[in-house]
Amino acid sequence: MTDQTFPIIQTDSLDLPDVYEDPLDLMDEIDRLKVDKDATILAHYYVDGEIQDVADHCGDSLQLARVATTVTTSTILFAGVHFMGESAKILNPEKTVIMPDLHAGCSLAESCPADKLLAYQHELRAKGHDFETVAYINTSASVKSLCDWIVTSGNAREIIDRVPAGKEILFVPDQHLGRYLMEVTGRDMILWPGSCMVHEVFSIQDLLRAKKNNPQSLVLAHPECPKNILEHADFIGGTEKMRKFVTAETKPLTLLIATEANMIHPLQKAAPQHTYIPVPGIMTSSGETCACNRCPHMALNTLQKVRNCLKNSQPEIVWQPYFEKAQAVMRKSLL
Q: DSSP assignment of 90-147, as one string? A: HH-TTSEEE-S-TT---HHHHTS-HHHHHHHHHHHHHTT--EEEEEESSS-HHHHTT-
Is 298 among the residues that bind ligand SF4 (CB under 6 A)?
yes
CB of residue 78 vs ligand SF4: minimum separation in angstroms? 13
Interface with ligand SF4 in residues 130-159 (CB under 6 A): 138
Q: Closest approach of Cβ 80 to ligand SF4, in Å?
A: 8
Nearest Cα neighbor of 47 from 38, 60, 37, 34 is 60
- 198 near ligand SF4, rule: CB under 6 A: yes
> Using CB under 6 A, which of the segments 144-152, 248-256, 293-301, 309-317 binds ligand SF4?
293-301
Applying CB under 6 A, the site for ligand SF4 has a residue count of 13
Which residue number, 117 or 295, has a Cβ lying nearer to ligand SF4?
295
Cα separation, 155 vs 140, whole angstroms: 19
Count of Cβ atoms closer than 10 Å to residue 148 Cβ? 18
In the set 89, 297, 305, 307, which binds ligand SF4 (CB under 6 A)?
297
Residue number with CB closer to ligand SF4 (110 or 168): 110
Q: Is 64 helix (H, G, I), strand (E, B) or coil?
A: helix
Q: Is 302 in the site for ligand SF4 (CB under 6 A)?
A: no
Q: Identify which of 255, 256, 260 has the alpha carbon closest to the alpha carbon of residue 291.
A: 260
The amino acid at residue 308 is N
Residue ranges in 87-106 that form contacts with ligand SF4 under rule CB under 6 A: 106
Q: Which candidate, 302, 299, 63, places its Cα nearest to that of 198?
A: 299
The alpha-carbon radius of gyration of the chain (Å, integer) is 21
| Residues 242-261 interacting with ligand SF4 (rule: CB under 6 A) | 260
Nearer of residues 134 and 196 to ligand SF4, judged by Cβ: 196
Of residues 238 and 276, the one with the C-beta less far from ligand SF4: 238
Interaction of residue 295 with ligand SF4, rule CB under 6 A: yes
The mark string for 312-331 relative to ligand SF4 (x by CB under 6 A, - otherwise) is --------------------
Indicate the residue among 26 and 294 with the shorter CB distance to ligand SF4: 294
The whole-angstrom distance between residue 219's C-alpha and the CA centroid of its chain comes to 20
| By CB under 6 A, residue 210 contacts ligand SF4 | no
What gap in Å lies between CA 274 and CA 199, rounded to an integer? 23
Q: What single-letter DSSP state applies at residue 316? A: B
CB of 200 to ligand SF4, least distance (A): 9
**Closest to 105 measured CA to CA, from 134, 139, 132:** 139
Contacts with ligand SF4, residue ranges (CB under 6 A): 46, 81, 106-108, 138, 196-198, 260, 295, 297-298
